[in-house]
Amino acid sequence: MARLTGMAATRPVVIIGAGIQGCATAFFLSQRGQSVIVLEKDHVGRHASGVNAGGVRRLGRDIAEIPLSVASMDWWNQIDQLLDIDRGFHRQFYVKVALDDAGADLAFRRIQQLHSAGFQHETWIDRDQLLCRIPHLTKSVFGGVLVEGDGWALPWKITRAFHDKAAALGAQFRTPVTVTSIDKSGEHWQVTTDAGMIETDIVVNCAGAWGTQIAEMTGDVLPIDAYAPMLVITDRQPMFLQSVVGVMGGTLSFKQLDNGSMVIGGGKRGVADAARNLTQIIPAGLSSFVMTAGRVFPHLRDVAILRAWAGIEGYTKDNLPIIGNGSQAGIIHGFGFSAHGFQLGPAVGEALADLAMARQTRVNLTPFSPHRFAVSPDQAAGH
């Protein structure tokens, strides 16, 4: 590379994908004076970044992911100043409740495991304290694992805000533009799209569920599976909840928005058709996680669901994201967040910006290395 470490490249960095990771990366690069072009095949925040459950949590994360999540929380705590927005982050607490002995057992083991790894942010809260803080919880709750200061944000609003701020700082967003090939040409890369070709030194792949295809264009075989986790939103109700609630041993996420409606996610997957940008709701799956919500908040019996939806998201084999340099110089990957990348967005944007400028990253990215899935193209073709 004919440029100095840590300095801005003269050609714009090309970011593929205008979800939260792509927009946050564009923001950090623009802030540092690096010119950026973001290519998005649909529109900003169209898929998982715009329509996820909006949980902003350190709670319950894979230990390998905690440092990145903690670093991201620093950004969340100053997100309003960072992006010139209002009430961008609803800092509350996040609790996974134990509904039975098995749940309580899981909770204790989890806390012990974190303690021995040197993390203290998850703590046990007993039944009485929990009912005091969330009076509408089922009276049969055992207690829960809690993180103070976790909360939620509106995914679309935050993704949009990163976009707006990056754009204000000079980032160019081109939508709807589809990348058709990425080719090495001497020292640099040629990114060919349905709206012309762009030459660049650095390509950042933030293409989410479509990340595999983009990686393939650069010669990297990084398989992920596209799934569509389902969510529902309810009618408005009087405010009763100032926290985000999940269950131990389950994947419920439950929150109440400012306008009184509740967003319920359950990790249950709908049908994802990434090739056609389509998702489909599976009624039985919806029913199952709504029932879990009922076990936690039985008083919501007559509350109406207004919409159910599913956003297309890319899942890796180990459920950890792919963040790091590709096998060829100038290619950087940041995708495969496996339905828990929203909170990581700001820190990932910062880290990808660091990689793009060949700077030392604040968080060790080794656990997320694309090379952990390394297979040769021949091997992949043999499958």
Partner 1 sequence: MANQHFQIAIIGAGPAGMAAALTTTKAGLETIVIDDQKGSGGQVYRNLLANQEASPAYLGKSYYDGTELAQSFANCGAVYQPDCTVWQITNTHEIALVSRGKAELITADYIIIATGAIERPMPVKGWTLPGVMSVGGAQTLLKQAALGADDAVFVGSGPLLYLTAWQYIKAGLAVRAVIDITGGKQWRSAIPYAPLALLQPDMLVMGREWLGDIRRNTEVITKVSAIEIIGQSQAQGVSCTLSSGDKIDIDANHIFLHQGVVPNVNLTMATGLAHQWDHQAHCWRPVIDVTGKSSDEQIYIAGDGGGIGGAKAAAIAGRLAASAIVARCGKPRFLAQLYYKLRHLHYLSIRPFLDRLYLPSADFRLAQTDETIICRCEAVSKAGVNAALASGASGPNQLKAFCRAGMGRCQGRGCGLVVQEMIASHTGQSMAETGYYRLRPPVKPITLAALASLEGPWPD
Partner 2 sequence: MFKSTMPEKGRIVHLQFDGEAITAFDGDNLAAALLRSGKVKFRTAAKNDPRGPYCMMGVCFECLVKIDGRPNQQACQITVHDGMIVQRQNAPDSAGKVSG
Residues that bind partner 1 (CB under 8 A): 43, 45, 50, 138, 156, 160, 234-235, 271, 278, 280-284, 286-288, 290-291, 293-295, 298, 300-309
> Cis omega (within 30 of 0) on the bond before 176?
yes
For residue 264, the minimal CB distance to partner 1 (Å) is 8
Distance CA 201, CA 214 (A): 16
For residue 5, the minimal CB distance to partner 2 (Å) is 51
Q: Please identify, using beta-carbon distances, which residue of 74 and 235 lies nearer to partner 2.
A: 235
Distance CA 174, CA 195 (A): 9
Residue 50: how many other CB atoms lie within 10 Å: 21
For residue 274, the minimal CB distance to partner 1 (Å) is 15
Give the residues lining the site for partner 2 (CB under 8 A): 235-239, 258-260, 302, 304
Q: Please identify, using beta-carbon distances, which residue of 77 and 237 lies nearer to partner 1.
A: 237
Q: Please identify, using beta-carbon distances, which residue of 261 and 327 lies nearer to partner 2.
A: 261
| DSSP bridge pairs for 161 | none
For residue 257, the minimal CB distance to partner 1 (Å) is 11
- Our CA dihedral for 288, 290, 296, 300, rounded to 10 degrees, sits at -150
For residue 257, the minimal CB distance to partner 2 (Å) is 9
Secondary element (H or E) of residue 26: helix 20-31
Q: Which does 3 bind (CB under 5 to 8 A by kind): partner 1, partner 2, none?
A: none
Q: How far is CA 198 from the centre of its chain?
A: 28
The secondary structure of residue 65, as a DSSP letter, is G
Q: Which does 284 bind (CB under 5 to 8 A by kind): partner 1, partner 2, none?
A: partner 1
User: Would you mind telling me the total number of residues written for the chain in this entry?
Assistant: 383
Q: Please identify, using beta-carbon distances, which residue of 305 and 358 lies nearer to partner 1.
A: 305
Distance CA 322, CA 337 (A): 7
AA identity, residue 325:
N
Q: Which does 237 bind (CB under 5 to 8 A by kind): partner 1, partner 2, none?
A: partner 2
For residue 241, the minimal CB distance to partner 2 (Å) is 10
| DSSP bridge pairs for 254 | 245, 264
Q: Please identify, using beta-carbon distances, which residue of 145 and 262 lies nearer to partner 2.
A: 262
